[in-house]
Amino acid sequence: MANTSLVTNRRRVLLGLAAASAAATTPVAAMAPAAPAENPALLNLAKQFAKAIREMKQAKAALSGCCRDWAHQWPDAPEAINATPGGWGEAAETFKGHTERRHVLTSDGLGTDIATVRKAIARKRKHPERPFHVFLNHSGWRAEATRDDWEAELEQLRDLQQIAATYEREKDFVRTASRVREISSRQCAALEAVVGVVSNIMAERPETMEGVVIQAQALDVWKADGWGLMASLEEDWAGTFARNLLRIAAV
């Protein structure tokens, strides 16, 4: 459908340009030189562009449907596992994989803390009077004075590890069931394809007004869908299009 629409629109523009040209010009000699043929690479890219746009729209629709069906099932990170100042954690994620500002403790990180506290308890058995410092992901640097302090710390860490593990299992379930990562990757790949085709279209030299219309359509669809934000700032596509239009109009 997208391919047919682009081709139909291009034909309408060309017919309009031809009619305007015929009305504005005087008859020419019968032996006038043959009109130039359009760049075949540009014509082929026009077909590729229609296909890339169709895939991009389908990928966006698939991700929107996935979010509609599954985003509400994404678990909120429990406050109990929020990383404390001085501690360490991983950035919390949204359903689509975007990172949040807050950081949360992980079951692996808490497992490391548990092993560290166990070592601290063993040291306290040997040297109960000797203080020492350890770093915990949960709370940063600690220097508890007694074995009872470390025992209480160990119990708290085990509880937090269970909370973190449950949260991570819930996230993994939603990710797997929804296939959000695969669907998001499809949209990223489709966007890269659109970027590539538009770049190639603008790099080609149009030989007729049909080629200029192809470039105009590419830029128009690109801008309308907001994908132009991905374009390199070094690309002067507007300038390229203007120069091509002026060059062909002057023939």
| Mean pLDDT of all residues belonging to the chain | 82
The pLDDT of residue 106 is: 94
Distance CA 123, CA 110 (A): 20
Q: Are 31 and 201 in contact (CB under 8 A)?
A: no
The pLDDT of residue 23 is: 43
Mean pLDDT along residues 57-81 = 96
Q: Lowest-pLDDT range, 33-37, 45-49, 164-168, 207-211?
A: 33-37
More confidently predicted of 210 and 29: 210
The pLDDT of residue 233 is: 43
3-state secondary structure of 3: helix
Residue type for 99, please? T
Q: Are 70 and 95 in contact (CB under 8 A)?
A: yes
pLDDT band for 219, please (50, 70, 90 cuts): confident
